Amino acid sequence: MTGALALPEAALGSHCPYCALQCAMRLVPDEQDPTRLAASARDFPSNRGGMCRKGWTAAEPLQSPDRLTTPLLRDRKGATLRPASWDEALDRVVAGLRDAQAKGGPDAAAIFGGGGLTNEKAYLLGKFARIGLGTRNIDYNGRFCMASAAAAGTRALGLDRGFPFPLSDLPEADAILIVGGNPAETMPPIMQYFDALKAKGGRLIVSDPRRTATAEAATLHLQPTPGTDAALANGLLHVAVRDRLIDEGYIAARTEGFEAVRRLVASWWPDRTERVTGVPARLIEQAAHMLGEAPNAYVLTGRGPEQQSHGVDNVLAFINLALALGKVGKLHSGWGTFTGQGNGQGGREHGQKADQLPGYRMLANPEHRRHVAAVWGVDPDSLPPPGPSAMELLAQCGAEGGIRALIVLGANLLVSAPAVGQLRERLESLDLLVVGDPFLSETAAIADVVLPVAQWAEEEGTMTNLEGRIILRRRMVQPAPGVRTDAEIVKALADRLGHGDRFTAEPRAIFEELRRASAGGLADYSGVTWERIAAEDGVFWPCPEGEAGTPRPFLDRFPTASGRAKFHRVDHRVTAEEPDSDYPLFLTTGRVMAQYQSGTQTRRVAALNEAEPAAFCEIHAEMARTLGIREGEPVRLTSRRGTALVRARFSRSIRMDTVFVPFHWGGEACANLLTSTYLDPVSRIPEFKVCAVRVEPAGAMPATADAAMLPAGTAPA
């Protein structure tokens, strides 16, 4: 258990371990029990003193009796995990890595990282993969989250930064369209900005197949059929062109490629758009006028349109709309995307993506390779080529001639990846699976070696929130006895592999090297220091040496070759898997307020389990009646990949053809037993948001399914 609050940095505070809003907080003695710690919100430009229930209870996992405090290893396949010393565990990992690479070459070893890791750890993992192991096989769970928006932003605007503006700009707009995002539940403190917008007479439009808490707060709710986002965007743009709401002067001065888009959307008249999307034509026209007539407006996308097999096209279609209205690169106007994980932004900037090097440099670019290789002190030709994306990496696990050893840090794949039933078989077939986690997660429970790692308040480093604001995560408590940080683990492995002289575990030293490696790149951190971050409430990137940082990077020009933003001709395509007679309903997945990601932390918090104790299937009450389903009773959801068992929750505000299951639970209640592995051709993101399912009464809930709904601390060993 974490010790008493003892470090001087505790008084200065840190940031929440969960979403990318990164609310500022402190740890203080609990009022009811001074021997324990509690979280307390503090004022900061992004959260302005707000915090959600997950943040308020963030101290509990630090003090959980489920904490792992010693390494665990399995002597052979099928044996139970047993305690081991750090030396024994690390020696086992290194022996397994060497054996795998001796049999299958450098790429027989792989690393899977996470969007919750600090910038320093993300940087270190990329460096370790490329010069410690010499493998091309590294990717991270941000591929499941932000990849489509990142690719679209880069293609259209020249830069991937979630919100290319400070949050404080939002209330100054006159209209905001949120597409497929539910911030009222996923990052509640951000709603103060939308509330301020409405208080001064601004309009909030939400597009979502469900009437979420965010949709309830909207001025106008559009409820499209899942998978029809690009069609909706084209329909909105058709109205804007037809009714002369577009900004011809802006289009001519700051963009290129509009005429091809103009010709395309000419055929997306409101009646046709209604037939495809299910959104009434009058609401399409109303939404287009709300946005087009607003002097200042934002278009904000979320996971809904992004986690699809045509997610990049969906986002590009909405960027087209924002560009045509002249809203991007202007004060109090723009396009942005909600970043999900705590360091989802920084985690994809500095090298743990399959194709990237630090500073958003690309492995395929010889100049980029030379710059980073010089910082690392290696020959550019020694760096491996770009590797496969997350799902393609995982598909190689245990395959003939594929990956034989996998290290997982900062991810719980057996809850968060699609088609987890098949994935489990692949992970179990590996020669070596190593998982670093503070708890025995579902993935750790099947590992050959489990390494206990420090939690957020027990280590220091930098994070980059959804605004592109680089912030400082301070160590507020001593690490739990027996655990190590991820950086210490990587350093120890590098030492044993003979590369220790190129690595350090000290966060500030890693950050100094990251600054040099990122210098001159799109995500330039070279002008950022820890002292500046602390003194200035964070620093916005890009921030070259000697500069102040860039809160709004598109005001003067776009970082493209021409300096202009680019339109992309994007037409509607049907989803990879449409409902049919065997699987007649759409399934969409997402988050709920009281849980987070795979639930490894939040399912250990009593107050959060009381608020949302189990997975459920939200289904329209009339559809449930036709299927013979009663509220609160078990239902079986079946897709082409597997079956999940959850309880029915009725709604009259979800679409009749759609059901929703949150993805925070494992076992037989895991939503990702159902989801598909169809990938976007550009971003390689899986199609989490749309697949076809059958829903039917399940009778009595099996004991195994009930166990899957219990707090995560009951996971098998």
Q: How far apart are CA 523 and CA 357, in angstroms?
A: 11
Give the pLDDT score at 717: 26
Per-residue pLDDT at 700 exceeds 90: no
The identity of residue 418, as a single letter, is: P
Would you say domain 9-63 falls under CATH 2.20.25.90?
Answer: yes
Give the pLDDT score at 8: 67
In this structure, which topology does domain 148-338 adopt according to CATH?
A: Dimethylsulfoxide Reductase; domain 2 (3.40.228)
From-to residues of CATH 3.40.50.740 in the chain: 72-145+343-540
Angle of helix 270-277 relative to helix 281-292, nearest 10 degrees? 110
Give the pLDDT score at 6: 53
Q: How far apart are CA 668 and CA 570, in angstroms?
A: 38
CATH number of the domain at 585-714, out of 2.40.40.20, 3.30.420.40, 3.40.50.2300, 2.40.50.100? 2.40.40.20
From-to residues of CATH 2.20.25.90 in the chain: 9-63
Q: How far apart are CA 486 and CA 455, in angstroms?
A: 10
Per-residue pLDDT at 31 exceeds 90: no
From-to residues of CATH 2.40.40.20 in the chain: 585-714
Q: What is the pLDDT of residues 413-457, one digit of tens each?
A: 999 999 999 999 999 999 999 999 999 999 999 999 999 999 999
Mean pLDDT score across all residues of the chain = 94
Q: What is the mean pLDDT of residues 341-345?
A: 90
Per-residue pLDDT at 529 exceeds 90: yes
Q: DSSP letters along 639-658, please?
A: -SS-EEEEEEEEESSS-TTE
Per-residue pLDDT at 537 exceeds 60: yes
Q: What is the mean pLDDT of residues 487-509?
A: 97
Q: What is the pLDDT of residues 564-594, one digit of tens each?
A: 999 999 999 999 999 999 999 999 999 999 9
Q: What is the mean pLDDT of residues 180-190?
A: 96
Q: What is the mean pLDDT of residues 668-690?
A: 96
Task: Give the lowest-confidence range in 201-215, 335-349, 627-641.
Answer: 335-349
Q: Please state which architecture CATH assigns to domain 72-145+343-540.
A: 3-Layer(aba) Sandwich (3.40)
Per-residue pLDDT at 356 exceeds 80: yes
Query: Do residues 142 and 115 touch, judged by C-beta distance below 8 A?
Result: yes
Per-residue pLDDT at 1 exceeds 50: no
Give the pLDDT score at 10: 66
Per-residue pLDDT at 707 exceeds 80: no
Q: What is the mean pLDDT of residues 251-261?
A: 98
The identity of residue 304, as a single letter, is: G
From-to residues of CATH 3.40.228.10 in the chain: 148-338
Count Cβ atoms within 10 A of the Cβ of residue 65 and give its class: 0-12 exposed, 13-18 middle, 19 or more buried: exposed
Per-residue pLDDT at 708 exceeds 60: no
Cβ contacts of 368 within 8 Å, gap of 6 or more: 357, 361, 362, 521
